[in-house]
Each structure stands twice: as C-alpha cells, then as structure tokens.
C-alpha cells in the first residue's frame, strides 16, 4: 500500500512538471509556430538556389559510358538536352512549378526559372523532331522524338492527371532512347543531321524567345513605342487595328517573374549553345 502511494505521488509530481499551464500551452504553440516558420523559410531559401553549370563534354561522355558507344554527331546536343531537363526536375527541392503545398507553393522565383528552362527545352526538342533528325521536309519523323516533344508541352503547372514531372520524365526516357540509337553504329534508322538550315531553324526559335523576354525586361520602367507590327510594309495587314504609338510597361509585380524566367532561359541556352558549338563545328567553320 505504501509503495502504491509513493508511486502515485511520484507520478502526480511528474505530470505537474511536464504538463504546461494555460500560459504554458500558449508558449508551446508559439514556439512550435516559430520553429515551423523558420524551417519553412530555410527550406524555401535552400530550394531557391539555382543549379550550377555543368560541362557538356563531360556530360555526354557519362551518358554514353553505360552503352559504350562512341560520341557521334548529335550526341552532345541530345545529351545536353537530357541533362538540362533532368536538372530542372532533380535540383534542390525538385520540380516546384506545380507544387500545391508549402514551401513550394509560396515560392515564385525558382518556378519562373523553371519556366525559362522549360521553354528552351521545348524549342530544342521541337527542333530535334522537325529539323535535326530529318533529312528533308518530307522524311518521316523519329518515333522517340514524336513522343518527347508533346510530353514536354504538358502544362507546367499540372500536378495531377497528368503530373507535369511524370510526363517530362517520359520525354527524357525517349531522348535517352534516341541518344542510344544515333550513337549505335549498327543502327542507321536514327540520325542527327548537322546542317546550316537546321541550325538556322532552331536559332529562329531562340530569337523569338529572347525577343519576348527582352521586350518585357526593357518595359519594366514603361516607355512609349512606335507601332512597327507590320514592319513598314505598305501591303501588310493585321486583324485588329492598333494605335501608331502605345505605352508598353511590364506590371510591377511581374518584373521579378520575367527576370527569373530570363535567368532560367539563359542558363539552359548557355549549355545548348556550347553543345551546338561541338556538334556543328564543321558547319560553323565554313
């Protein structure tokens, strides 16, 4: 009986020590809130770090290391497209553009960076499908690239049915298959043609993308612009009349979005141009 009383009194004292008072509950809730807030902010800062550049020549060697195939024309461009796409998905925090929960939900800088990368990925995969892999306009499309390009065009914010990153990984798998096939000396069905006209076609896509970003960046302070939509051609027409002069200004809340999208596009394009320099070195030399 005495032992039971001692045990009961000891348990009561223990509960009094660990059980917070009414004021203690408030302090505990406040402490938990502060810790969660600090953790979310820390993770947000860590996830917002942009990936470091990589060597396109080292990358293509690693991509072909498993198969043992030699580097051929088109290997560097294709391997670089794969690596840029994988980096977009596998960087710190993963792919954030379609996040529906914090901390990814409240981040906007890195999702805009991802959008800039994704647009360049889409343009190069389009150039691969429509130009680099085809000998002429009436030749058949490569089956792997037929899959990759549409998959990369899935809505970047789609998080379910389908999830954007799942579709992008299907596209990457198709690019791996294409890379393996063009690097296989016994497979003549898959080709990459390094020609000046193919390169010019992709550079036109790049020009249009950069032109849009440049326009939005330069309009951050607002400016009056003369309407040059019809390029001064006397016979040119447009569907809806527009003023001869108009004020162009990027909304204040959109300026940082355009800035980070431009950074993402520049990061991807830097690697693509280095890869093109290697695969098209003879064409560029001429």
Q: Average pLDDT by consecutive 10-residue portion of the chain (286 residues)?
A: 53 57 70 84 87 97 91 98 98 94 86 98 98 85 97 96 96 98 93 96 96 88 66 67 71 89 98 98 93
pLDDT confidence of residue 6 = 45
User: In 3-state terms, what secondary structure has residue 224?
Assistant: strand
What gap in Å lies between CA 79 and CA 167, rounded to an integer?
A: 18
Given this model, what pLDDT does residue 41 score?
Answer: 82
**What does the pLDDT read at residue 2?**
45
pLDDT 10s digits, 16-48: 555 555 556 777 788 888 888 888 888 888 888
Burial status of residue 266 (CB atoms within 10 A of its CB: 0-12, 13-18, 19 or more): middle
User: In this predicted structure, what is the pLDDT of residue 163?
Assistant: 96
CA angle 56, 57, 59 (to 5 degrees): 65
Residue 191: the pLDDT is 95
For 231-259, the DSSP string reads TT-TT---SS---SEEEE---GGGHHHHH
Partners of 226 in the beta sheet? Answer: 245
Q: How many helices (H) and strands (E) does the chain have?
A: 10, 2
Q: How confident is the model at residue 67, as a pLDDT?
A: 83
pLDDT at 10: 62
Per-residue confidence (pLDDT) for residue 3, from 0 to 100? 46
- What integer pLDDT is reported at residue 103 of this predicted model? 81
pLDDT at 29: 83
Q: Note the pTM of the prediction, 2 decimals.
A: 0.85
């Amino acid at each position: 009986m005495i032992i039971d009383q001692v045990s009961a009194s000891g348990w009561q004292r223990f509960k009094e020590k660990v059980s917070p008072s009414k004021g203690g509950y408030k302090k505990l809730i406040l402490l938990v809130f502060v810790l969660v807030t600090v953790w979310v902010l820390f993770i947000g800062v860590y996830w917002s770090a942009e990936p470091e550049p990589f060597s396109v020549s080292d990358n293509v060697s690693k991509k072909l290391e498993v198969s043992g195939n030699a580097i051929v024309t088109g290997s560097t461009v294709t391997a670089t497209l794969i690596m840029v796409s994988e980096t977009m998905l596998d960087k710190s925090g993963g792919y954030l553009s379609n996040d529906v929960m914090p901390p990814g939900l409240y981040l906007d800088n890195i999702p805009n960076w991802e959008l800039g990368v994704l647009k360049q990925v889409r343009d190069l995969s389009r150039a691969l499908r429509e130009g680099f892999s085809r000998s002429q306009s009436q030749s058949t499309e490569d089956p792997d690239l037929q899959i990759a390009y549409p998959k990369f065009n899935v809505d970047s914010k789609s998080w379910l049915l389908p999830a954007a990153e799942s579709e992008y990984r299907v596209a990457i798998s198709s690019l791996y298959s294409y890379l393996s096939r063009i690097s296989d000396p016994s497979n003549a069905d898959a080709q990459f043609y390094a020609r000046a006209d193919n390169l010019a076609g992709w550079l036109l896509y790049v020009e249009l993308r950069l032109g849009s970003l440049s326009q939005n960046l330069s309009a951050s302070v607002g400016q009056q612009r003369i309407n040059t939509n019809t390029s001064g051609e006397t016979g040119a027409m447009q569907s809806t009349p527009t003023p001869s002069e108009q004020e162009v200004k990027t909304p204040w809340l959109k300026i940082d979005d355009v800035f980070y999208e431009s950074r993402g596009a520049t990061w991807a394009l830097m690697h693509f141009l280095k890869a093109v320099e290697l695969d098209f070195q003879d064409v560029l030399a001429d």
